[in-house]
Amino acid sequence: MAMSTAKPHILVYPYPTAGHVTPLLDLTRRLLARGLSVTVLITENNLSLLQPLLSSHQSLHPLIFPYPEASNANGSFNLHTSLHDLHYPLLLQWLRSQKPPPAVMIFDFFLGWTHQLASEVGLPHVVFSPSGAFGLSMFFTLWRDLPKVEDPNNGNSLVTFPNLPNCPVFPWYQLPPLYTRNKEGEAIWEFRKNVWLGNMASWGVVLNTSTELERVYIENMKKELGHDFIWAVGPVLPQDDDVAGRGGSSSMPCHDLMAFLDARGDGSVVYVCFGSRVVLTRKQIDPLAAALEKSGVHFVWCVKQPDEQNVAGDYGDIPDGFLDRVAGRSYIIKGWAPQVEILKHRAVGAFLTHCGWNSTLEGTVAGVVMLAWPMRAEQFMNARVLVEDLGLGIRVGEGTQNIPESNELARLLSESVNGARAERGRAKQVKEAVLKAVAEGGSSYRELDEFVKSIRSLNE
């Protein structure tokens, strides 16, 4: 059989945390639908996230690798180097055993060390960004230009980025800790730098965003990297019939939650969630709870509990008596929440979020007002896109450095669902533009087709 008539085979390698695995599997679903054969490198602990796809696609194959044991004891930042040390030789051996080899490897941007591995076997290498174009551009700029401040202990020292659109300025504390936490010359810092240099040297870049959301940053990235092999194919969120099982199983009976929402008026509920990893401190959770109480709004609140190893740390919990005082207008979730289903419900009108890119996209597609309280990583860049570029976000806080005052936050919560704020109309406009982009014939749909066409050309 001629190579050109065979299904192109690709290898997909997500970074093994839920917030990174889920969007790359969403992309995988779309690649399978376009006739590709896909092997997904998945760690044992994340195999359940792949199961819904495996049960419905014969062209999908799992490549199960162990999860590094050392990272469990030493923290998530060592997961980057542990994956390299454990997976590099295993993956190299697997690639050399494939006859013929995959046409291309698509990998998460935290796995940029795979660029060297792909070069060893002559495999084209595509970086997938689970962050937006602005967030990815910030990572590229940091590791290429290596900006410094006189006093890195002064988190308010300002850093200007003249090569990014509109020359944004950020205080040092808002830059990703992967860059700021260690010093140049330290082994972990040099490892991360090489990861990002590997990303920038990749054959291509796939972005989980659309030109309707981030056109100026996408065009700037093409200029900075010096090529057009950059495809904005997002948001790669699932269609309605593909939501079940995505990201994990719910921690509460979904029918109870939906019954609560069904009983509320259109756009009257605020959804509060800070992602799967952020545990609020006592100084953060107390004013948030007070604001929810004072605002009088109906709300769904997903409260992240600390992991066992962090139970002695500085974290907050719901204040005593709070549940009684908000009874009848609140629904509290402790654990994983079916966020896509919550946001798309007609009763939800606003989303208080940490501005992780997955949450940013899910809220944008739902057409809700975004109350932005970024916490870390590139979330400060995402908040800027929502508030300043798209005009559908309201800035309410920033990490632990700018914790909102409860009366002011209560006012913003109320206005987000009850007031005549311009962000409400703008959120609906952006939703329509993004849904049009991912529909057949839209910009993201066409970009994904072009990406698949490029892969097929490698297979000829």
Radius of gyration of the chain from its Cα atoms, rounded to whole angstroms = 22
Give the whole-angstrom CA distance, residue 323 versus residue 359.
26
- CA-wise closest residue to 235 among 44, 366, 325: 366
Give the whole-angstrom CA distance, residue 231 versus residue 53.
23
Helices (H) and strands (E) in the chain, counts: 18, 15
Residue in 9, 20, 87, 298 annotated catalytic: 20
Give the whole-angstrom CA distance, residue 233 versus residue 454.
14
> Is 20 designated active site?
yes
Which residue type, as a one-letter code, is found at position 440?
E
> Is 228 designated active site?
no
The CA-based angle 296-298-303, given to 5 degrees, is: 110
Residue entry with tokens 């979904």:
254
- Hey, what are 88's tokens? 């590099």
- Hey, what are 139's tokens? 């990572």
- CA-wise closest residue to 339 among 295, 260, 275: 275
Q: Residue 131 phi/psi, 5° resolution?
A: -100, 170
Give the whole-angstrom CA distance, residue 4 versus residue 81.
38
- CA-wise closest residue to 139 among 224, 215, 79, 81: 224
Residue in 108, 115, 286, 354 annotated catalytic: 108
- Hey, what are 170's tokens? 């950020």
* Catalytic residue IDs: 20, 108
